[in-house]
Amino acid sequence: MTNVVLLVMDTARYDSVLDTQADLPTFEALRDRGVTYTSAFASAPWTLPSHSGLFSGQYSSKHGSSAAAKRFPEHTSTVVEAFENASYETVAVSNNTWISDEFGFARGFDTFRKNWQYIQSDVDLGKIAREEEGFDKIRGVAKQLFDGNPIVNAANAVYGQFVRKRADDNGARSTNRWISGWLDDRDDSDPFFLFINYLEPHLEYRPPAEYTEEYLPEGVSYAEAIEVNQDAWSYIANDVEMTDRDFEILEALYHAEIAYLDERIGELRRLLEEAGEWEDTIFVVTGDHGENIGDHGLMDHQYSLHDTLIHVPLVIHGGAFTGGETVDKLIQLTDIAPTLLDAAGIDSDEFEEELQGRSFHPDAETEPREYVFSEYMAPQPSMEALEKRVGDLPKKVYEYDRSLRAIRSHDWKLIRGSDGSIELYHVAEDFDELENLTSERPEKASELESELDAWLDSFEHADATGDADMSDSTKDRLEDLGYLQ
């Protein structure tokens, strides 16, 4: 039977991986022998709802995960459960706090590793261990140390402070180390479904220096580059001024993160080869969303549905996905779940009944997409959370207090806001979405609005209420990643 590896490069935008001058030998090798999809789009611009769509094959309006309901709901069937029911060993390694049992993503996995912990535990002392000093650190650790297993908690605190943070900032190397041990120890009588979320190149961008120098502008040292502001919310609130040069440096750090991750993905491939599993594995590499690095006046991956956030890389190797082909047809990340079931020869009626994605397996008899859709159901962070973080906000920032939906064909794209705003771009020519043509092409805007409304009317929408019951340590870790609560 066929193994499946579903690998997410968290925050990897399309042009940083598949339309770049950077040296990415692992991707070049995968593209030479696999299939590259140049028009793949996320259903949401940030981690929680995008992964919910990836696992469920549904859009945000249907599965309900968003900033207004911060949880992948238990009633939603997942592709993981379909593989589990087909006698696959199901394993996850996550480096992003959103993708954890706390937010509903462990369902269907035999093993779910939270790679920010040395010993798996519900208590997380990493925030205290990393940030506090002196007596405050001692007092903070003492307060939480005995919540659960004190030995486990102490080990995780030491790991967060003295080992992981310094040796491997976002965990790709330690992820592979754990996978190596798992491959050595596993019972290979059953095939496996392995999901990995590598956190690189998510903010903060802190690639190893040896991967960075070739990307930095002339005359800029690594030490100087690391000091450039990476606080997206201070920038958006006009609390800090940033120049074109600053963003050029941040882009260099971002590309270096991807170059580092390219090597780690190559290492993962070698581990699978050494274990004798590579030839029997469907290997999927994608991004859950992209990133704004000064684009559209924004940093991070919120408040926008421009292609910088929803156009993502997608390369698949193995099985029917061979030959070095490049495919330009429109793909959604919601389509990956049914495609993987087709690749593994698994029928799952219960899961397939709820699907909105459509298989793009070479043998699937599905119609190509005319449009792809993306949704941003609520602002994250909210205006209240942003005010709490940075204080008074410029009036312009309150324009982001809205939901957004987008419809995109190969040539045209429309973004509609709950505030009545409309943006229309001729993306076939205006790749950077700089010229809003709503006034010049009202008939095209009306046509796409009608198509968007017809799509929204074609399925039942979730009741988007209810958050996960987040622990304080989880909220702290999410804020470390820039997700203000």
What is the helix (H) or strand (E) element at residue 319, kind and residue range? none
The closest of 403, 462, 413, 418 to 438, measured between CA atoms, is 413
Task: Identify which of 302, 328, 237 has the alpha carbon closest to the alpha carbon of residue 11.
Answer: 302
468 pLDDT tier (thresholds 50, 70, 90): low
pLDDT digits over 26-77, tens only?
A: 999 999 999 999 999 999 999 999 999 999 999 999 999 998 888 999 999 9
Q: Which residue has the higher pLDDT, 159 or 436?
A: 436
Mean pLDDT of the 345-374 span? 95
Task: Check residue 118 and give its pLDDT.
Answer: 64
Show Cβ contacts of residue 27 under 8 Å, excluding neighbours closer than 6 positions.
17, 18, 262, 265, 285, 313, 315
Using pLDDT thresholds of 50, 70 and 90, give the confidence band for residue 21: confident
Q: Once rounded to an integer, what is the mean pLDDT over residues 459-484?
A: 71
Is the per-residue pLDDT at 322 higher than 90?
Answer: yes
Spatial contact of 332 and 356, defined as CB atoms under 8 Å apart: no
Torsional sign, CA 57, 63, 65, 68: positive
Q: Please classify residue 420 by burial: count the beta carbons closer than 10 Å to its beta carbon, then call 0-12 exposed, 13-18 middle and 19+ buried.
A: exposed
Indicate the average pLDDT of the chain: 90
- 167: pLDDT strictly greater than 90: no
Amino acid at 16: S
pLDDT digits (tens, 9 = 90+) for 240-290: 999 999 999 999 999 999 999 999 999 999 999 999 999 999 999 999 999
pLDDT in tens, 411-422: 999 999 999 999
Token pair in block for residue 294: 């000064």
Q: Quick one: pLDDT at residue 128? A: 45
pLDDT of 141 over the 90 cut: no
Domain ranges in the chain are 3-115+171-370
Q: Alpha-carbon distance 462 to 1, whole Å?
A: 36
Q: 3-115+171-370 has which CATH code?
A: 3.40.720.10
Give pLDDT, residue 117: 83
Closest CA to 286 of 50, 109, 48, 111: 50
Task: Tell me the pLDDT band of 305, cut-offs 50, 70 and 90.
Answer: very high
Q: Does residue 137 have a pLDDT over 70?
A: no
Range in 146-150, 334-338, 432-436, 453-457 with the lowest mean pLDDT: 146-150
pLDDT class of 214 with cuts at 50, 70, 90: very high
Which distant-in-sequence residues (6+ apart) come within 8 Å of 365 by Cβ? none
